[in-house]
Chain A
Amino acid sequence: MPAGVAVALLVLPLVALIIRAPWTQLPALLAEPTVVQALGLSLATASISTLVCLVLGVPLALVLAGSAQWPAVPRRLLRALITVPLVLPPVVGGVALLLLLGRRGIIGQWLPFTIPFTPAAVVIAQVFVSMPFLVIAVEGALRASDSRFEVAAATLGASRFTILRRITLPLVAPGIASGALLCFTRSLGEFGATITFAGSFPGTTQTLPISTYLLLQTDPNAAIALSLVLMVVSVAVLVSLRDRWVPGVLA
């Protein structure tokens, strides 16, 4: 019974969204230049954010996974700090980013350029909220992988870089893929940190979730249509990558 309630709670809101969607107006709404612009910006920034998360997050996951020999205090502290953005309300993250990188921020005031209100700020906000998903997914995969292959490769004379490239990373590829997937969908849906840190300007920082929120004030039908788009894109990403990349996670 509780399981049934849980499924209903997770699925019924999406069903309501599909039922209430203005299907006949949908093509016209989705062809609106502002919608196309917001969708394009969202897809572009979420893709870049995922790349940044991969480049920075995989090494961090390697460090974390290899931290078993560290003293307990720094090891636990590092892990806790990385997890904070996961539990932090995104708006708080946005405020924190402003205070660090804003025009009068601790670092921002020394920079020769301003970050807020640029697409770069959108990417930074998205990376801030989504990188922990990647790090935790990859680290989990690393811990679960069989270290005997690496030991065997080392005894056969492989360098550490060769082991990483030929053994470790291929072993945890499914973990990296599912982490990247979570990263991408989390970035795509990012709202609170983005509107707080990056603001909202059509074509520059107004991502799809932000235009959805603003449209809800005046044109609920259009907002429902955009919500549907976000849902379809997210589900499509899941489905398209299911078999090829992350059989273990989503089979």
Chain B
Amino acid sequence: MKKPLIALATVLALAGCSTPAPASAPTDAPADTLRGTITVFAAASLSDSFRAIADAFTEQHPGVDVVFNFGGSSGLATQIVEEAPADVFAAASPATMTTVTDAALTDGEPVTFATNVLEIAVASGNPGGITGLADFADADKTLALCAAEVPCGAAAAKLFESAGITPSVDTYEQDVKAVLTKVELGEVDAGIVYVTDVRSAGDAIEGIEVDSAPVSYPIATLSGSTNPVAAHAFVDFVLSDAGQGILRAAGFGAP
């Protein structure tokens, strides 16, 4: 299904090149002048909301095809620095965006477009009887965090540090979705994830609020973009009321 779409988009992109419409058209040009494909690298925690945003965006700009590469922000940043073809990068932490700005690969300054807070995730019914962060110091509970190498792990480490708790962790997972899976399968009593993950997991997962500092999500267009006009339009759309509404509905906070 994806391949024909990409092929179609390529044809459209080529068609766009042959018409006199200049690539330097201002972003406030009439919507239907936008053509081609944009590739968006986005943090795994954005997957649901960015798909919804792309749907709304392509409704306004039917000539544009949005292709996603969702994954851990750190890994995505590494791929961009290794010159993976990308037009837009949306990261789950300023630190991972810095990897890309340090390599001078962004087109302009990154903008914060959303915030997220951490929450304790437990399986529905809370079989482990978790009440709060203090339970994470209990060696008898089975607990999962993200590895410190990925943003959710770094944020969780900061959370426990500011709470003065030394968590007794059983496993450091490679990304936030892996933590959620371990909680959902009942292999761990609790894990630390983002509030948006708890919300998108539905009935299988319950969240317990914690007092955590919000994490900022920055977005930027990339200097290597082959379709900068559409890339800028997508970033503008994420920052617009329509884009922000979708993010807010998924549980993200205002920037």
Q: A248 to B9: give the CA distance in the assembly, Å.
A: 54
Is residue A207 contacting chain B, with contact meaning CB distance below 8 A? no
Is A214 within 8 A of B147, CB to CB? yes
Is residue A217 contacting chain B, with contact meaning CB distance below 8 A? yes
| Binding site secondary structure of chain B | loop
| Contacts between chains A and B (CB distance < 8 A), count | 59
Q: Which single residue of chain A is at the shortest CB-CB distance from B186?
A: A104
Is residue B185 contacting chain A, with contact meaning CB distance below 8 A? yes
* A103 surroundings in chain B (CB, below 8 A): 142, 186-187
* A220 surroundings in chain B (CB, below 8 A): 78
Q: A98 to B178: give the CA distance in the assembly, Å.
A: 13
Is residue A116 contacting chain B, with contact meaning CB distance below 8 A? yes
Candidate in B72, B74, B150, B172 with the most chain A CB atoms within 10 angstroms: B172
Is A117 within 8 A of B74, CB to CB? no
A199-B144, A200-B173, A215-B149 known; A102-B187 Cβ under 8 A: yes
Is B149 within 8 A of A218, CB to CB? yes
Is A117 within 8 A of B78, CB to CB? no
Q: A216 to B149: give the CA distance in the assembly, Å.
A: 9
Among B142, B144, B169, B174, contact of A214 (Cβ-Cβ < 8 Å)? B174
* B132 surroundings in chain A (CB, below 8 A): none
* B169 surroundings in chain A (CB, below 8 A): 201
* A200 surroundings in chain B (CB, below 8 A): 147, 171-174
Which residues of B are interface residues toward A (Cβ below 8 A)?
72, 74-75, 78, 142, 144, 147, 149-150, 169-174, 178, 182, 185-187
Which residues of A are interface residues toward B (Cβ below 8 A)?
98-99, 102-104, 114, 116-117, 195, 199-202, 205-206, 213-218, 220
Identify 12 new A-B residue pairs, CB closer than 8 A, beyond the known A98-B187, A104-B186: A98-B185, A102-B186, A103-B187, A195-B173, A195-B174, A200-B171, A200-B173, A201-B169, A205-B171, A206-B172, A214-B147, A217-B149
